[in-house]
Amino acid sequence: MIKIIQGDITTLAVDAIVNAANQVMLGGGGVDGAIHDAAGPELYKACLKVPEVRPGVRCPTGEARITPGFKLSAKYVIHTVGPVYRDGQHGEPEKLAACYRNSLALAAENGCKSIAIPCISTGIYGYPIEDAAKIAVREVKGFLAAKNANDAKGEGRAPSRPQMEVIFCCFSERDAAVYEQLLSCGDPVV
Ligand code: ADP
């Protein structure tokens, strides 16, 4: 199931919230700063423990890492690093798609039944919201469709377990309107 919420992601009582982090994963501006403030200093300590894959890089662009949510209502924070937007011709769409895919896979691996995702890359990293939202919706729909098919196969029938709930958490009214538009005119939501 897909939902759109306009508001502050740090207030949501879901299994996981996604953080639009940076590669070093030690906090920053925008939603990253808000999540670290709300989760408290334990989140910073947990991020420090995530091994660097190379100096200064705990999470390469397009990948995702998981930590507890500490003081947040969310059980987990899934940190992903979106691409910095140049012109859309430098691998940005593929990297952004990978953020969604890897975050959702990590949520599923950790048994999450609900996940809230902000508009990754569309703030400081400059990705145009219309383009980014199209990728977000495509990837989430694809993930849920594949998951449903897989769950049905495992159970030999349509899945009786509740599906994963994916919430697009938009900070601004304008961003929420972009998602509303995309979801209202697209294929039926899985
Ligand atoms: P990036 O560096 O990936 O662009 P930003 O944090 O600058 O990340 O922005 C990503 C999105 O998160 C933007 O749409 C911004 O408005 C939004 N945002 C900022 N604070 C919050 C918050 N507390 N809850 C949800 N979304 C937020």
Structural contact between residues 183 and 141, judged by C-beta atoms closer than 8 angstroms: no
- Given the CA of residue 120, which atom of ligand 1 is nearest to it? 3
- Given the CA of residue 9, which atom of ligand 1 is nearest to it? 24
CB distance 143 to ligand 1 below 6 Å? no
The DSSP annotation for 70-90 comes to TTSSSSEEEEE-PPPPSSS-S
Cα of 186 to ligand 1 centre, how many Å? Answer: 25
- 157: pLDDT confidence band, cut at 50, 70 and 90? low
- 130: pLDDT confidence band, cut at 50, 70 and 90? very high
pLDDT tens digits, 33-63: 999 999 999 999 999 999 999 999 999 999 9
Per-residue model confidence (pLDDT) at position 152: 82
Per-residue model confidence (pLDDT) at position 136: 98
Please tell me the distance from the alpha carbon of residue 108 to that of residue 104, in angstroms, as a whole number: 6
Average pLDDT over residues 74-92: 98
pTM over 0.85: yes
For 29, 54, 116, 144, 151, the CA distances from 190, given in Å and listed in that order, are: 33, 38, 16, 6, 13
Average pLDDT over residues 154-180: 86
Which parts of 81-164 are beta strand (E)? Answer: 114-117
Please identify every residue annotated as catalytic.
32
Cα of 128 to ligand 1 centre, how many Å? Answer: 13
